[in-house]
Amino acid sequence: MRPQRDILAIRACPLVCGRRGAGARESRLLCYDAGVASTVRKAIFPVAGLGTRFLPATKAQPKEMLPLVDKPIIQYGVEEAVAAGIDNIILVTGRGKNAIEDHFDVSVELETFLEARGKREQLAEIRKISNLINFAYVRQGEPLGLGHAVLVARETIGNEPFAVILGDDVIDAEPPAIRQLIDVFARVGGPVVAVERVPREDISSYGVIDIDPAARLGDGVFQVRDLVEKPPRAEAPSDLAIIGRYVLTPDIFPALASTTSDRTGEIQLTNGLRALLKQRPLYACEVNGVRHDTGNKLGFLKAVVYFALRRPDLADKFGEYLAGLKPGAPVGKR
């Protein structure tokens, strides 16, 4: 029998996250000491969202489990973390997300079935999934924003730097996108957010950074002067939009605990980072890679096509099929 992988299930106490609890626990807030830990070993994956953009498909399954060809969206992010040297994943989950936990757990029945049928290749693939990394699960009672999701994972992080990976952003990059941020973090010694240049007409959909033009940190690395959440196009300080990768230090937790909820009742990570920026420098890394926003239908479909065309077993025939399609025309048998 194969050894059981370590899985830790934690239910976040509401008092840790609420405004009352944050104040009551102020004496226990951790103060980050750069000398305590400099290696990024843990990554938070916020996966408690309801996935309403993909209804009805997400009524009974998590959006993170929608497949890009034959692998769920969430697995691309986890594999990126593994390739970057991260060995502990903290999944911030909510109701109806058990399928994610099951996906990364050992499935004795399935493995026994595949082994008995001699399906060695498939057996190796699912064993690779369950052996990827150590997982912890923290329950977020309500999806109250990205900042709130990070805050409920506080106890599992401790006093060390950590990554935040938003699974909706699937990034094909070498080195892996989060590795690029970790390398910048090691060089500058401060929190790093991933950015990407986006067209001005789309800028209002993103958090946007204002950079210090006097800072000379190398190609694609910037010192952040300010962050603005979804500004009007005319007021955007740059075309550098924040995307779903962060390397943060644990002093973000008291900053988030003191952050006021916005008009929708959510705690925004961008606002927490603005508060942290008053205390220490913050940096940005322009990621070198191809990003797909699978959180919307068009981005999801583009990602399916992109990864299918990168598969040797599918690329030729699928490419021929796509080349023969005419927009608006009925599709016949092929």
Residues 165-169, mean pLDDT to the nearest whole number: 95
Q: Structural domain tally of the chain?
A: 1
Q: Are strands 134-139 and 192-197 parallel, antiparallel or unpaired?
A: unpaired
- Residue 142: count other Cβ atoms within 10 Å of its Cβ: 13
Range(s) of the domain holding residue 246? 7-312
Q: Which CATH number do you get for residue 34?
A: 3.90.550.10
In a domain, 321, yes or no: no
Q: Name the pLDDT band for 187 (thresholds 50, 70, 90).
A: very high
pLDDT at 330 over 70: no
pLDDT at 288 over 90: yes
**Which span out of 117-126, 203-212, 214-223, 298-307 was modeled with the highest average pLDDT?**
298-307
In a domain, 26, yes or no: yes
Residue with tokens 């191809």: 290
In a domain, 327, yes or no: no
Predicted local distance difference test score (pLDDT) of residue 12: 37
Q: Do residues 214 and 304 touch, judged by C-beta distance below 8 A? A: no
Tell me the β-bridge partners of 222.
284
Q: Do residues 161 and 37 touch, judged by C-beta distance below 8 A? A: yes
Residues 133-150, mean pLDDT to the nearest whole number: 88
In a domain, 121, yes or no: yes
Residues in contact with 233: Cβ distance below 8 Å, sequence separation at least 6, in sequence order:
200, 201, 203, 204
Predicted local distance difference test score (pLDDT) of residue 38: 64
Predicted local distance difference test score (pLDDT) of residue 178: 97
Say which residue, 31 or 38, is predicted with more confidence: 38
Predicted local distance difference test score (pLDDT) of residue 234: 87
How much of the chain exceeds pLDDT 90, in percent?
Answer: 53
Q: Are strands 221-229 and 283-286 parallel, antiparallel or unpaired?
A: antiparallel
The whole-angstrom separation of Cα 253 and Cα 259 is 10
Residues in contact with 4: Cβ distance below 8 Å, sequence separation at least 6, in sequence order:
106
In a domain, 317, yes or no: no
In a domain, 94, yes or no: yes
pLDDT at 84 over 50: yes
Predicted local distance difference test score (pLDDT) of residue 278: 92
Residues in contact with 39: Cβ distance below 8 Å, sequence separation at least 6, in sequence order:
160, 161
Say which residue, 67 or 58, is predicted with more confidence: 67
The whole-angstrom separation of Cα 81 and Cα 113 is 30
62-66, 67-71, 74-78, 214-218: which range is least confident on average?
A: 214-218
Predicted local distance difference test score (pLDDT) of residue 331: 58
In a domain, 333, yes or no: no
Report CA torsion sign: 53, 56, 60, 61: negative
Alpha carbon distances (Å) from 180 to 8, 27, 59, 172, 307: 28, 35, 35, 12, 21
What's the predicted TM-score (pTM) here?
A: 0.84
Q: Name the pLDDT band for 283 (thresholds 50, 70, 90).
A: very high
Mean pLDDT of the residues in the chain: 83
Helix residue ranges per DSSP H, 64-116: 73-83, 98-103, 108-116
In a domain, 213, yes or no: yes
Q: Name the pLDDT band for 9 (thresholds 50, 70, 90).
A: very low
**Length of the chain (residues):** 334
The whole-angstrom separation of Cα 233 and Cα 239 is 10
126-135, 148-157, 310-319: which range is least confident on average?
A: 126-135
Three-point CA angle 311, 133, 17, nearest 5°: 115
Both structure tokens of 157: 């992080």
